[in-house]
Amino acid sequence: MNYWKAVFAIAKKDVISELRNREIISSVLLFAVLTLIIFHFAFTADQKTILSLAPGMLWVAFAFSGVLSINRAFISEKEDNCMEGLLASPVSRDAIFLGKAIGSIVFMLIIEIVVFPVFTLLYNVSVINPIVILVTLLATIGFVSIGILFSALAVNTRAREMVLPILFLPTVVPLIIAAVSATSVILDGGKFSDITQYMLIIVAFDIIFVTVPFILFRYIVEE
Amino acid sequence: MSYAIECKDLTKRFGDFKALKNVNLSVDKNRILAILGHNGAGKSTLIRVLSTIMHPTEGKVFIDGKELKEDDTLLRSKIGLLSHNSYLYSNLSAKENLKFYSSLYNLKDPDKRIDEILKKVNLYDRRNDRVGTYSRGMTQRLSLARALLHQPSILLLDEPETGLDRDSMELLWEIVRTDDTERTVIFTSHNFQSTVKICDEFIIMKKGSVVHRQDNNGITESDLEKIYSEVNEGKK
Of B53, B100, B106, the CB nearest to A84: B53
Residues of B within an 8 Å Cβ radius of A: 51-55, 70-71, 73-74, 76-77, 79, 81, 83, 85-92, 96, 100-101, 103-106, 146
State which residue of chain B sits closest to A221, comparing Cα positions: B53
A90 and chain B in contact, CB less than 8 A: yes
Please state, in angstroms and as integers, the Cα–Cα distance from residue B214 to each residue in A158, B7, B34, B195, B223, following that order. Answer: 44, 17, 10, 12, 12
Is-contact B170 B81, C-beta < 8 A? no
For residue A144, the surrounding DSSP H or E stretch is helix A130-154
The answer to whether the CB atoms of A91 and B104 lie below 8 A apart is yes
Contacts of A97 in chain B (CB under 8 A): none
- Say whether A218 and B104 touch across the interface (CB within 8 A): no
Domain boundaries, chain A: 3-222
Cα(B69)–Cα(B75) distance, integer angstroms: 9
What integer pLDDT is reported at residue B236 of this predicted model? 65
- The distance from CA B88 to its chain's CA centroid, rounded to whole angstroms, is 16
CA torsion sign, A212 to A170 to A23 to A156?
positive
- Is A83 in a helix, a strand, or coil? helix
Question: Domain boundaries in chain B?
Answer: 1-76+190-236
Residue by residue, pLDDT tens for chain B (236 residues) are 689 999 999 999 999 999 999 999 999 999 999 999 999 999 999 999 999 889 899 999 999 889 987 667 888 999 999 998 999 999 999 999 999 999 999 999 999 999 999 999 999 999 999 999 999 889 999 999 999 999 999 999 999 988 788 888 888 888 887 766 688 999 999 999 989 999 999 999 999 999 999 999 889 999 999 999 998 887 66
CA angle B44, B64, B47 (to 5 degrees): 5
User: What backbone torsions phi and psi does residue A120 show, to the nearest 5 degrees?
Assistant: -60, -45
Q: What is the mean pLDDT of chain A?
A: 91
Which residue, among B69, B106, B143, B151, would best test binding to A if mutated, counting the most A CBs under 10 Å from its CB? B106
Residues of A in contact with B70 (CB under 8 A): 222
Chain-chain contact of B91 with A90 (C-beta, under 8 angstroms): no
Report the distance separating Cα B103 and Cα B77, nearest Å.
12
Of A32-36, A43-47, B46-50, B218-222, least confident by mean pLDDT is: A43-47
Is the domain spanning B1-76+190-236 CATH 1.20.1640.10? The answer is no
Q: What pLDDT band is residue A47 in, cutting at 50, 70 and 90?
A: confident
pLDDT at A223: 64
Instruction: Select from A17, A88, A91 the Cβ nearest to the Cβ of B51.
Output: A88
Q: How many CB atoms lie within 10 A of CB B18?
A: 18
| Contact between residue A131 and residue A183 where contact means Cβ atoms under 8 Å apart | no
Tell me which residue in B76, B83, B106 faces A5 most closely, judged by beta carbons.
B106
Which tens digit of pLDDT belongs to each residue from A144-199? 999 999 999 988 888 878 888 898 999 999 999 999 999 999 998 899 999 999 99
Q: Is B103–A81 a contact, with Cβ atoms under 8 angstroms apart?
A: no
A25's torsion region: left (phi>0), alpha (psi -120 to 50) or beta?
alpha
How many Å apart are CA B160 and CA A34, to the nearest integer?
48
Nearest-by-Cβ selection for B92 from A10, A17, A93: A17
Which residues of chain A have a CB within 8 Å of the CB of B73? Answer: 90-92
Q: Do B91 and A84 touch (CB under 8 A)?
A: no
Predicted ipTM?
Answer: 0.87
